[in-house]
Chains A and B, each alone.
Chain A
Amino acid sequence: AQSVTQLDSHVSVSEGTPVLLRCNYSSSYSPSLFWYVQHPNKGLQLLLKYTSAATLVKGINGFEAEFKKSETSFHLTKPSAHMSDAAEYFCVVHSGGGADGLTFGKGTHLIIQP
């Protein structure tokens, strides 16, 4: 069994300040972990993925995430927020090797204050 918990439903930061979106997971197997972003009325776009290589993963648009097995966490960060980062972010886990899709967190709504 696998599950994902996004610890904040909403995060608000000022433009130019750091972003931290928190994600904890549970998995019976060595997981693959992903962060997706969804802008209004759009589908999901992959930001970055972890698949058992380097624990610090760099993604698009300046985002990165660190896989910490001891803490079962995969937090998403960005050094400096931009107005265009305002969106919904989903932490996602896939484990077990089966073709039964991904397990999604409930999402974190990122608000960027001018």
Chain B
Amino acid sequence: DAGITQSPRHKVTETGTPVTLRCHQTENHRYMYWYRQDPGHGLRLIHYSYGVKDTDKGEVSDGYSVSRSKTEDFLLTLESATSSQTSVYFCAISETPRDQPQHFGDGTRLSIL
């Protein structure tokens, strides 16, 4: 399995608090992605990174920010969490954006009360 670690695996927090999720990889892949998974929606891309300090928005980026200061770490931040951001969050990595399949972490289950 690809070396991807997400932390924390579970988190419960209150509306309005900041939350940061971490994705750590040991594969030295250039591309990293954050998705959210909600019932009936499959996975939807939040943000992605194509290198250190290089990031771009995905389909559902409102309310989220990301940072990548090292190849191995990609952080997802909810500046002020809302109940609509309750979801399961997945990190993924890939060597190239097209032909290589993305490898996924085991997810972070985030509940915002």
| Chain A interface (Cβ < 8 Å from any Cβ of B) | 32, 34, 41-46, 49, 51, 90, 94, 97-102, 104-107
Which residues of the other chain, B, contact A106 by a CB distance below 8 angstroms? 40-42
- Chain A's interface: helix, strand, loop or mixed, by majority? loop
Interface size class of B (residues with CB under 8 A): 20 to 34
B90 and A100 contacting across the interface, CB-CB below 8 Å: no
| Chain B interface (Cβ < 8 Å from any Cβ of A) | 4, 31, 33, 35, 40-45, 48, 50, 56, 58, 90, 92, 97-99, 101-107
Task: Please tell me which one of the listed residues A42, A97, A102, A107 contacts residue B102 in the complex, with CB atoms under 8 A apart.
Answer: A102
Report the Cα distance A104→B42, complex, angstroms: 6
A32 and B42 contacting across the interface, CB-CB below 8 Å: no
List 9 additional A-B contacts (Cβ < 8 Å) besides A42-B106, A42-B107: A41-B106, A43-B107, A46-B103, A90-B42, A99-B50, A100-B45, A101-B35, A101-B48, A106-B42
Please, which residue of chain A has its CB at the minimum distance from the CB of B101? A46
Which residues of the other chain, A, contact B97 by a CB distance below 8 angstroms? 94, 97-101
Task: Please tell me which one of the listed residues B33, B98, B104, B106 contacts residue A32 in the complex, with CB atoms under 8 A apart.
Answer: B98
Please, which residue of chain B has its CB at the minimum distance from the CB of A107? B42
A105 and B42 contacting across the interface, CB-CB below 8 Å: yes
Please, which residue of chain B has its CB at the minimum distance from the CB of A104? B42
Task: Please tell me which one of the listed residues B42, B45, B99, B107 contacts residue A101 in the complex, with CB atoms under 8 A apart.
Answer: B45
Which residues of the other chain, B, contact A43 by a CB distance below 8 angstroms? 4, 90, 104-107
